[in-house]
Amino acid sequence: MVIKNNNLNQIWSGLAVEELLRHEIDFFCISPGSRSTPLASAAAFNRRAQKIIAYDERGSGFYALGYGQALQKPAVIIVTSGTAVSNLFPSVVEAFLSKIPMIILTADRPPELQDTGANQTINQDNIFGRYVKWFFNMPCPDYAINPSFVLSNIDNAVSSSMSEPKGPVHLNFMFREPLAPLPHEQGDICKKYILEANSWAGKNAPYCSYTKTEKNCRHYPDDIILKTISGNNRGLISVGKLSSDSDRESLLKLIRILKWPVYADITSGLRLNKSAGTNIIKHFDTAILEPDFCLYAKPEAVIHFGNRITSKRFFEFFKLYSPEIFANVKNDNVRYNPEHLPVVTVESEINIFCDYLAGRIKDLKQKEDFKDFYEKKAEEAQRIIDINLGEDTELSEVFISRFLSRNLPDDSCLFLSNSMPVRDFELYAESTDLNIKVGSNRGASGIDGIIASSAGFAAGNRKICTLVIGDIAFIHDINSLSLIKKSGFPVIIILINNNGGGIFNFLPVSECSEIFKEYFIAPHNYRFSGAAENFKIKHNYAFTRDDFIKLFEDAGSNAQNEKESCIIEAVTNDEHDYRLRKKIKREIISILHI
């Protein structure tokens, strides 16, 4: 146990860090600052704490977000007072909506400096509002307060962050000077104070412990679902983001038994995985809302597992063609029903529910032609994409997503930026035998903090990560290239530079020619080799398919052998990509007519 007892600020901070470590919360994202000196130095002095230094608090928050997304356990963020705290807001919102655990330790000025015009002092009391699961204002350290007060509050923070739904928690530490871990005239009193925690200090366990029991299905009134499954019905499984490998494995087992078609979101971990068999529907997002297709493809029963789906049209489809039953299975009580459908919600651990259901299914009489219909249309759609990519020779975003899905390093991870990358993989990626873990910030679906998130995702997974990001999102987070350089696990950045916001080509505003280009496409005319050079990250341009293929092969080799991150800047033409996507969509729609 490492607790400096030079002053009371240091003791409280040391207690907090040590207690977090006893909960196996051992990764700290620290941004330099004066008022947070006690917290930062407590983490610095403890060798069991893993640390990364982030110059920018916004990047620190998103790095912690990526780390938490990878491991489903929180990283700890330490920042100073003032606007440093405000800079965490976007990552806190994303963590809350994505149900990702995160522990935020902010430093603050003492009460006598609040609301006085004192420098670097803002109102930090519950600053994140409804976007944290728990907030507590820690008073200035005081000898009258027993050390157990600090320990039990840290314990409650860990429990709150890790209980379902997981999410961010915030402890706001007020500190008076002295802040530095230097000897103080009250050193003898400090030594006596720490003795009050002797019984805790002599152990390795947390002061308070919390036990989580599994939510089981033994008493769930499942007659409706079982009758639906066992009857002669046309069923569909949809899968959003899953938080664990055990959820994926149990769900795959149920999928193989049911033989229902499966709409797996790209973030589910099933979309790129061949082990799910032929049940996985591809290009469903293109097909839905096409009337001829929907009349035959509409299911009578839907069971949804996990978090939200990338596709907006997914729920619109069920709003238009209501299934007899729509069951939503997840391990929390957070509502997921954007179209206000009559949903049957099952609050259960997903793996337990799937195992339970798989064991009770008898006399299955599913309509095989329903699944076969989906499979046939998916195969035809695959053929159309391949034919178009064979005829088109330019380096396109469609080609990049399809090529990467086939050629990512095995047993690696993939992080997809919001805007076009996550949608392109949803539409054009192929399933392979590769073991790929997929991450994406789909809670609030912003384009900020993507580089930092990918670095944290790589560190949490302890694997090579391929990041696919557009130029506008890259500009948003360009300073987080410092985190790529510092992170111990390589990130291959695929920077798609189409000179602006190409996604707006697909929106109705594209018809407003007098404002569209300047205010929405917003061309920047930037290239990014200089930024890469400043951060000492290897950079290459890809102007052709051959360029891209060779550079990605080299990048994978260097990442595996040299642990080297790099940037491949793929220069594409958004007008060409728009036409190619439209052509593919038209041809896929043409095969949907029954």
CATH of residue 319: 3.40.50.1220
Contacts of 283 (CB under 8 A, 6+ apart): 377, 378, 381, 382, 427, 588
CATH of residue 170: 3.40.50.970
State which of 168, 201, 234 marks the end of a domain.
201
Residues 332 and 197 in one domain: no
Helix (H) or strand (E) holding 95: helix 89-98
Tokens found for residue 359: 């064991």
For residues 562-589, give the mean pLDDT.
Answer: 94
Closest CA to 321 of 301, 304, 351, 336: 301
- Residue 492 domain flag: yes
pTM: predicted TM-score of the whole model, two decimal places? 0.94
Residues 361 and 426 in one domain: no
Closest CA to 436 of 379, 361, 492: 492
Residues 352 and 423 in one domain: no
Residues 357 and 402 in one domain: no
pLDDT of residue 523: 92
Residues 308 and 435 in one domain: no
**Polymer length in residues for the chain:** 594
Residues 145 and 250 in one domain: no
Contacts of 223 (CB under 8 A, 6+ apart): none
- 231 vs 162, more confident: 162
Residue 152 lies in domain: 8-201
Q: Is the pLDDT of residue 277 over 70?
A: no
For residues 417-433, give the mean pLDDT.
Answer: 91
DSSP string, 223-256: HHHHHHHHSS--EEEEE-----HHHHHHHHHHHH
- Residue 210 domain flag: no
Residues 227 and 133 in one domain: no
For residues 423-439, give the mean pLDDT.
Answer: 90
Residues 409 and 346 in one domain: no
Residues 475 and 538 in one domain: yes
Residues 455 and 538 in one domain: yes
Largest alpha-carbon pair distance within the chain? 85
pLDDT of residue 588: 86
Residues 191 and 230 in one domain: no
pLDDT of residue 377: 79
Report the alpha-carbon distance of residue 532 to residue 534 in Å, rounded. Answer: 5
Per-residue pLDDT tens over the stretch 155-165: 999 999 999 99
Per-residue pLDDT tens over the stretch 62-103: 999 999 999 999 999 999 999 999 999 999 999 999 999 999
For residues 281-301, give the mean pLDDT.
Answer: 73
Residues 282 and 407 in one domain: no
